[in-house]
Amino acid sequence: MLTNLNAQPVDKIMALMAQYREDPREGKIDLGVGVYKNAQGVTPVMRAVKAAEKVLWEIEGTKSYTGLAGDPAFGQALSGLVLGDSVASDRLACAAQPGGTGAIHQAVELIKMASPDATIWLSNPTWPNHPSIIKHLGMKMADYRYFDNDSRAVDFDGMMADLAGAKAGDVVLLHGCCHNPTGANLTLPQWKEVAALLEKTGATPMIDIAYQGFGDGLEEDAAGTRLIASSLPEVLIAASCSKNFGIYRERTGLLMAISDNAGQTGTTQQNLTHLNRQNFSFPPDHGARLVTMILEDEGLRADWMDELESVRKGMLGLREQLAGELQKQAGSDRFGFVAEHRGMFSRLGATPEQVERLRVEHGIYMVGDSRLNIAGLNAETVPVLAEAIVAVGI
């Protein structure tokens, strides 16, 4: 039986991680996978997470099963962080998931059950695992224009023109903030226009929010998602705690489904629970419990917000330093977009050959579409990167 299996396409981000690990060169620079690193190149356990783990070790008296949708307190705490009071709680169904990827997978399964002929619209470009999961689940997809490679900004006119083709029953996948892979984001007035267009077409928005707090701040980064949640009848939201709580390997995420009216919410919730049962029964609990403890405790929450804010400001500082260094070394301000982009990533707009030269000649690793992870830099490596970018002619 197993001999019938064919080789699967390689995940580019995962392959790059392996390639970097195997590179023996000292001074190699990893700007690949979207993992936050401090100036020492370490992905630290956040202070509030450590503190919550200590308390949990003391008070946790059982590791028996939670609910199929996870602990309801987690759903309440994380949906509160993402949605604020933008939507009435009786319209909201949630189920804990193994990470943001788990939430996306489950959302696509839910779409398949509710609207099997749906086309799922994806920004061009998007996180490569989006189309991969959709294809795996046998759903149709289409691209909408998103990134203008010349200005390195959002091609908003192109986006709106393409999304006008979405139909009722279709789903439009949007990045809540910190667009991956480009770093180019919608403004709030643009979110409003998107919301109005979706309402007109009848397509359902699905929002992937994996970097809340990494862009302009926790509240600011949720503003687009909240606007959509408060203005459209049905919304799906996949939230991840991997990055903003730094708990990547704990696999902590939440799928939220907003129904048109409170009368529908019970059935929506029951379907989310059913899907969990079919796929893995109970979602992982450790990370979800830590997040709940942090969000519910005033002191832990304040400390977490404080540390997250310094992470965010550190990345902004690196962006400004890199833009400045590139201006100096290239003698032009064509790289000003690096300081305008938000979140972990920026797309440089380089050719695959230039990206390859950065790796081969300079030991600098970034994804082949020229996405760089700004958090992989520090004050010393910024000039090294700027010099290499200029040397390969980007």
Active site residues: 127, 208, 210, 243
Exactly one of 20, 29, 30, 34 binds ligand LMR (CB under 6 A); that residue is 34
Considering beta carbons, is residue 91 or 319 the nearer one to ligand LMR?
319
Size of the site for ligand LMR (CB under 6 A): 6
CB 67 within 8 A of CB 276: no
In degrees rounded to 5, what are phi and psi of residue 391?
-65, -35
Of residues 241-270, those binding ligand LMR (CB under 6 A)? none
Q: Assess 17 for contact with ligand LMR (CB under 6 A).
A: no
Q: List the structure tokens of 106.
A: 């489950």
* 36 contributes a contact to ligand LMR by CB under 6 A: no
13 belongs to the binding site for ligand LMR (CB under 6 A):
yes
Q: How far is the CB of 268 from ligand LMR (least distance, A)?
A: 27
Contact 222, 69 (CB under 8 A): no
- Minimum distance of ligand LMR from residue 13's CB (angstroms): 4
Amino acid code (one letter) for 129: N
Amino acid, single-letter form, for residue 59: I
Q: Would you give the DSSP letter of residue 8?
A: P
Nearer to ligand LMR, 180 or 265 (CB): 180
Binding mask 121-160 for ligand LMR (x = CB under 6 A): ------x-x-------------------------------
| Preceding peptide of 125 cis, ω within 30° | yes
> What is the residue whose two structure tokens read 């049962």?
277
Q: Which stretch of DSSP H or E encloses residue 93?
A: strand 92-97
CB closer to ligand LMR, 13 vs 160: 13
For the CB of residue 129, give the shortest distance to ligand LMR in the complex, in Å: 6
Tokens, residue 232? 């459209």
Q: Name the residue nearer to ligand LMR (CB basis): 129 or 370.
A: 129
Q: Which of 66, 106, 180, 182 binds ligand LMR (CB under 6 A)?
A: 180
Site for ligand LMR in 303-362 (CB under 6 A): none
125/349 with CB nearer ligand LMR: 125
* Beta-carbon contacts of residue 157 (< 8 Å; ≥ 6 apart): none
Alpha carbons within 13 A on the beta-carbon side of 269: 18
Identify whether the C-beta of residue 222 lies closer than 8 Å to the C-beta of residue 192: no
Structure tokens of 223? 């503003």
Binding positions for ligand LMR, rule: CB under 6 A: 13, 33-34, 127, 129, 180
